[in-house]
Structure 1
Amino acid sequence: MDLVRHLGYFLVVTEELHFGNAAARLGMAQPPLSQRIRRLEEELGVRLFERSSRRVALTEAGRLLVPEAREIVARVERTRDLMSDLARGDAAVVRAGVPADLGAAVVAALIAGFRDRRPDVRLAPVEMGTAAQVAALLEGRLDVGLLRHPADVNGLDHGPVLVRHPGVLLAEGDELTAWATVHLGDLAGRDLVLFPRDAEPGLYDDTLAACRRGGFVPAEIISTDRAEFALGLVLSGTAVAFGAPAEVPGVVWRPLAGAPLAWRCSPAWRAEPGPYVRDFTAVAVQVLKDSAGMVDEGAPPTRRVAPRPATGFLA
């Protein structure tokens, strides 16, 4: 059995949760797709989906397999790309790890900026959390990464540390949108959408510690690395989230009073960096400042807001 190909089929079904739609997307008939998923289940010895005439849902085993399958498929694709470059005599590739929440515009700016600086070298960005990036850098599977701090960087060097002070994302009808700034304590009792701890353990713990110091202990923490899902929960009024302003109708961003959260990031590489790593670092620092609202560590936040008015309402 071609395990990687079957994992690819599995991932398409998890995204569609409908065998007919998944089969159409894959350009195949539904019965062969169902057979391949059953064969994968037999190979792994678990049920991956609960099937009925009305719905398809992931089992617990299926949910656990999703991130592993994504990593395996992505790693094989990266290996094939690298070997293809080598076969063409085009070995100048920089493999760069980037955080999942960087955003499409920032990733595009990174690629464009690096292309302008080194048109003879291809930048190959890989979406990866800090914990996975550290392991990949130490094992030589990445040339450079953009790490969230704090992180265990033993065996690695890193460039300038940049910081962003996130605000809070609220539903348009939330009573807190009437304020010019929001205190962490104002969020007490609400659910919080936050990135998974296993991806960013240091930043996750730092963020929750800052919340507790500010008087905000979330009623529940909902972990996701999917921005669309997080924004959906905010839109519904189910939870709040931290981050940069989102240009999404129905979502309102407010700065946090006193900038209590400091999300830090820096380029990092092995103690003996490969070629072009310095070029990537220079481009990444500039792009993160220009496109992601980050500033040098120790510098004041770039976004200035008026103090919270005594009335509590926006002028």
Structure 2
Amino acid sequence: MTDARTNRCSAVTTSTPSGRSRTAASSLALRVGYAEDLGTELFCRAAGVRVVPVPMTTPEQVSAILERRLDAGWCWEPELPDEVDSEVVGREAVRILLAADDPADADPVVPSSLAGRSLAVVPRSVNPRLHDRFVDGLRARGAEVVVAHEAVRLDRLVPLVLAGVAIGITQERVLAGGLPAGLVARPLQGEPLVVEHRLVWRRDRGRPPL
């Protein structure tokens, strides 16, 4: 599976959480955290600055912004303290991952057909609010799932689903690179389950030019 969100923006200088960029950052560089499954395409909007993207989980980004180690962050469903402001960048529909021969497979999936099934989902330790949005959203729609496995990335989720150990849940955007044979991604029947990704920054610094 390849990532369809390969960065082609010349304004972006890749960095690591340690702060060492792969090319020298200019005095106008912004250090911006990002969730790896979002990619870096947002940073091509930067006006007159160079962006140094730093891959981090959502809680890590918020902490780094509070401590002024980042100028901004781009993350899924952040929990925001009073010192941090945010703006919705986009909303993504949730998809249910099933083995192609799963008896619950339908387009769309009937939520009640997932009742009692083992679910593989992003851990609360990585993103509490996103985890809860997934699990609570399923249960509110009649899918009384059992949280049995944690999967931080799609490459951890896919083997669990293919083996029949669990069903999976993820954002539509994460599937941009495609799925392996034997796996399907379906929407839920009824009211869509949607999650947000947001640009976040310290209120006392103002919105970054992204």
Structure 1 partner of 2:198? 266
CA distance in 2, matches of 1:150, 1:93: 24
Identify which of 89, 100, 111 aligns with 1:184. 111
CA distance in 2, matches of 1:220, 1:158: 30
> Structure 1 residues 195 and 163 mapped into 2: Cα distance closer, same or farther (>3 Å)?
same
Q: Are residues 1:145 and 2:73 paired?
A: yes
Identify which of 201, 204, 208 aligns with 2:128. 201
Identify which of 239, 253, 264 aligns with 2:185. 253
> Structure 1 residues 258 and 174 mapped into 2: Cα distance closer, same or farther (>3 Å)?
same
Identify which of 7, 13, 24 aligns with 1:85. 24
Q: TM-score, normalised by structure 1?
A: 0.54
CA distance in 1, matches of 2:102, 2:168: 13
Q: Please, which runs of 5 or more residues in structure 2 have no aligned partner?
A: 1-15
CA distance in 2, matches of 1:221, 1:127: 27
CA distance in 2, matches of 1:237, 1:164: 26
CA-CA distance at 1:163 after TM superposition:
1.7
Which has the larger share of strand?
2
CA RMSD of superposed structures (Å) = 2.5
Structure 1 partner of 2:208? 277
Structure 1 partner of 2:56? 128
Identify which of 6, 10, 17 aligns with 1:75. 17
Q: Are residues 1:97 and 2:27 paired?
A: no
Structure 2 partner of 1:61? none
* Matched position secondary structure for 1:196: coil
CA-CA distance at 1:150 after TM superposition:
5.5
Structure 1 partner of 2:164? 237
* Matched position secondary structure for 1:272: helix
* Matched position secondary structure for 1:81: coil
CA-CA distance at 1:141 after TM superposition:
0.9
Greater C-alpha radius of gyration: 1
Identify which of 154, 161, 170 aligns with 1:227. 154
Structure 1 partner of 2:7? none
CA distance in 2, matches of 1:270, 1:225: 27
Percent of pairs with identical residues = 31
Q: Is the 8 A contact 2:61 2:70 kept in 1?
A: yes
Higher relative contact order (CA 8 A, sep 6+): 2
Which has the larger share of helix?
1
